Amino acid sequence: MTRFRILLLSCLLLTVASGTAQSSNHPDAAVGAQGRAIHDSAIVVDTHADTTQRFLDEGFDIGSTDPNDVGHLSLDKARRGNLGAEFFSIWVDPETNQGHFAQHTFDLIDSVYEQATHHPDRMMMAFSVRDIERAHKEHKLAALMGIEGGHSIESDMRLLRDYYRLGVRYMTLSWSNTNEWADSSGDMNDTKIQHHNGLTDFGKQVVLEMNRLGMIVDISHVADKTFWDTIAVTKAPVIASHSSARALVDAPRNMTDDMLRGVAKNGGVVQVNFFSGFLDQDYRNQMLAQEKDQTAAIQKYVDSLKTQGKPVNYIGVNRMEREWMAKIPRPPFKSLIDHIDHIAKVAGVDHVGLGSDFDGVSGATPQGMDSAADLPKITQALLDRGYSADDIKKILGGNLLRVFRQVEAVSREMQSHPN
Ligand SMILES: [Zn+2]
């Protein structure tokens, strides 16, 4: 989720996002026979989609084949793109859910299960590497869940364990908001927010408890100091479920080359975010230039809803964000490949993967990347840049599966030797 924090006008450097259907007006890069064959032989894993908000707020059915639907993800689009596993984001807006983070977390978790229940022939809940492999053999989409933002645990370790028991397999330590125990990259310049200089002692305990449970530690969104504190304390490899490279685009949410090398040393993986505002500096500059007007327009809309006593939810705000983002020309497809390539060069090809942020960026993705059906174009583009079939398959999902397997092994080890 890369959205405006609706009610926070401090919106500073935040991870704005949006854009409407913005259909790409240049011809799709052709995927050749070799590219298609490599792509179809891989287990493709995407570690971040916000389609979950659509399930809950719009009643969206992932089985939809509506040709006018501008969403990034459906079972049909996943099939066309040979997407094998998706981590559905469990993102609780900290502004609109004050006082009931856990309840909203549970509601989102339920919405993913409900989709799987309605489509047992094409989708299954998955909780392990073995489940992902089984889903692949059965030609079903493996549905996993990752919590986006440590505020969901309400500073309660028991809730963290309950989320694991319900199937949550990663947690992003913070979203754009600093919580009680982890600083976020999203509000470091906001002097009204109480910061902790990274992770608090409780935050470090959360990381270790996640290691023990077998829940992947996700450092997307966190402040740089939180990142380094996490790397120092974790006993298992970490992921950045949806983050790109700061050397290419100067966004606080993107990772510096030192951080990329830190993840490599830790054995983890950085999953590249497809949001145009993280991939292309020109796009980002235009986005920041219109930010004040955009924020004011959305605030006006939210205020009018409140005046009318109507609820403020994701749908209306998302629609407005899409309209604003659509004003900015989409960056070329190569901007996405540039980030994959940069991370592969700095961290190594074993430490890069895909974390689309589908349905969480209000349509603002590069030209040619309109939905999960376009994933094979990434394979073709990497092939064109000289990547081997083996390396491409690592990027498409192999690296993530390796990290997940190691997280499972560390969990078994910690549980067999309790202190
Ligand atoms: Zn996010």
**Ligand 1 centroid – CA 1 distance (Å):** 4
CA 241 – ligand 1 centroid, Å: 8
Q: Tens digit of pLDDT per residue, the chain (419 long)?
A: 665 443 333 333 333 333 333 333 334 558 999 999 999 999 999 999 999 999 999 999 999 999 999 999 999 999 999 999 999 999 999 988 999 999 999 999 999 999 999 999 999 999 999 999 999 999 999 999 999 999 999 999 999 999 999 999 999 999 999 999 999 999 999 999 999 999 999 999 999 999 999 999 999 999 999 999 999 999 999 999 999 999 999 999 999 999 999 999 999 999 999 999 999 999 999 999 999 999 999 999 989 988 999 887 777 888 899 999 999 999 999 999 999 999 999 999 999 999 999 999 999 999 999 999 999 999 999 999 999 999 999 999 999 999 999 999 999 999 998 87
User: Ligand 1 mean position to 386 CA, how many Å?
Assistant: 31
Tell how far the Cα of 417 is from the centroid of ligand 1, in angstroms.
35
Ligand 1 centroid to 150 CA: how many Å? 12
Chain centroid offset of residue 401 CA = 16
- What is residue 221's DSSP assignment? T
- One DSSP character per residue, 89-158 reads EEE--TTTTTT-HHHHHHHHHHHHHHHHHH-TTTEEE--SHHHHHHHHHTT-EEEEEEEE-GGGGTT-HH
Handedness of CA 27, 31, 33, 34 (dihedral sign): positive
CA 179 to centroid of ligand 1, rounded, Å:
15
CA 226 to each of CA 200, 242, 302, 324, 339: distance values in angstroms, whole numbers, following the listed order: 9, 16, 32, 32, 23
∠184-185-186 over CA atoms, to 5°? 85
How far is residue 279 CA from its own chain's centroid?
14
User: Which residues hold their Cβ within 5 A of ligand 1, which is an ion?
Assistant: 1
| Cα atoms in the 13 Å half-sphere on the side-chain side of 407 | 29
**CA 170 to ligand 1 centroid distance, Å:** 13
User: Measured in angstroms, how far is the CA atom of residue 109 from the centroid of ligand 1?
Assistant: 17
Centre of ligand 1 from the C-alpha of residue 419, in Å: 35
Q: How far is the CA of 245 from the centre of ligand 1 (A)?
A: 15
Tell how far the Cα of 130 is from the centroid of ligand 1, in angstroms.
26
